[in-house]
Structure 1
Amino acid sequence: MQFASTARCVPLVRTQVNKALHERGYARNDIDDAVLVASELATNAVMHGHLPGHLFEVGLVPSDGTCLVEVSDSSPRPPRVLTAGSDDESGRGLELVSTLALHVGQRLRKPVGKTVWATMRMTHGREPTKSPHWPFTATCTATADGRVR
């Protein structure tokens, strides 16, 4: 899934990841954790990995009992875990991701940027609602005046 590198697209990341995992039949609690992880990684891509004119991407790769959540942006700078103070309103995202995920990592991406990933434990809560489309695709773009389409 490709998104404009703007904070206005992060809610769409949450919606699309939720929809894709729900259609796959995963348990609600696992979906909620994966959506939170995707949201945190997408927010980091927008806040710290933004390069003008470049999109960021979100990928979901299901496997037996897990789902790999990947977020790619255009910056080669590796993510850094911050130490947030009790009054800070940000700085806890990667710590939260590390707490929820089985494994977390990052790799350089060619021709430009990096991919930050998290492996999530996923259990099936029910049968899939329909044949899921994997890879799941969506695009979010922003106009010059900041509107999202």
Structure 2
Amino acid sequence: MQFASTARCVSLVRTQVERVLREWGHAPSGIETAVLVASELAANAVVHGHFPGHLFEVGMTSADDICLIEVSDSSPRPPEALKAGINDESGRGLQLVRAVALCTGQRPRRPVGKTVWAKVRMAKPHSRVAAPARLHATSRGAEAVEGRVP
């Protein structure tokens, strides 16, 4: 899924991730965790990885009870967990992701940028969609395209 690098699109990421995981048949408890992780990683992409004119991407794959969430942006700078003060309103996103995910990491993205990823344990899916939809999303909505979620 591709999104414009705006704060408004973080909400769209939450909506689209939840929709896709429901279509894949995952239970609500796992979906809530995956949506939280995708939202935090997307917010970081918007705040710290924004380059004018570049989109950020969210990809998901799911096998059995594990969902891999990947967020790619145009900044080559690796993510850095901040030490937020008690009164700070932000700066805890990566710590939160690391607390709820099975594992996290990052890798360079070619030709430019990086991909930050996290694996989340999901409740066993009830049923699977044979060919998940790939989405192209902007701040105005999303269009489904046949095929695998990138």
Q: TM-score, normalised by structure 2?
A: 0.89
Paired amino acid for 1:69: I
Q: What is aligned with 1:112? A: 112
Distance 1:54 1:125 in 2: 34
Question: For each residue in 1:130-149, what CA deviation from the matched residue of structure 2 results, as whole angstroms up to 9, or x when unmatched?
Answer: x36435313114xxxxxx45
Q: Secondary structure at the match of 1:25?
A: coil
Relative to structure 1, is the Cα distance of residues 136 and 124 closer, same or farther in structure 2, using a 3 angstrom cutoff?
A: farther
Distance 1:86 1:138 in 2: 38
Gaps of 5+ in 1: 142-147
Gaps of 5+ in 2: 142-150
1:112 positional shift: 0.2
Q: Is the 8 A contact 1:5 1:56 kept in 2?
A: yes
Q: What is aligned with 1:139? A: 137
Provide the alpha-carbon RMSD of the alignment: 1.4
- The number of equivalent residue pairs is 141
Q: Is the 8 A contact 1:61 1:135 kept in 2?
A: no
Q: Which has the higher strand share?
A: 2
Relative to structure 1, is the Cα distance of residues 68 and 135 closer, same or farther in structure 2, using a 3 angstrom cutoff?
A: farther
Distance 1:119 1:14 in 2: 16
Q: Secondary structure at the match of 1:138?
A: strand
1:123 positional shift: 1.6
Paired amino acid for 1:122: M
Distance 2:133 2:110 in 1: 20
Q: What is aligned with 1:145? A: none
Question: For each residue in 1:49-108, what CA deviation from the matched residue of structure 2 results, as whole angstroms up to 9, or x when unmatched?
Answer: 000110000000111210100000000000000001111000000000001100100000
1:127 positional shift: 3.0
Q: TM-score, normalised by structure 1?
A: 0.89
Q: What is aligned with 2:34? A: 34
Q: Is the 8 A contact 2:65 2:125 kept in 1?
A: no
User: Aligned pair 1:71/2:50, yes or no?
Assistant: no
Q: Is the 8 A contact 1:60 1:135 kept in 2?
A: no
Structure 1 stretches of 4+ with a deviation exceeding 6 A read none
1:21 positional shift: 0.3
Paired amino acid for 2:89: E
User: Aligned pair 1:19/2:19, yes or no?
Assistant: yes
Q: Secondary structure at the match of 1:116?
A: strand
Identity of aligned residues (%): 60
Q: What is aligned with 1:56? A: 56
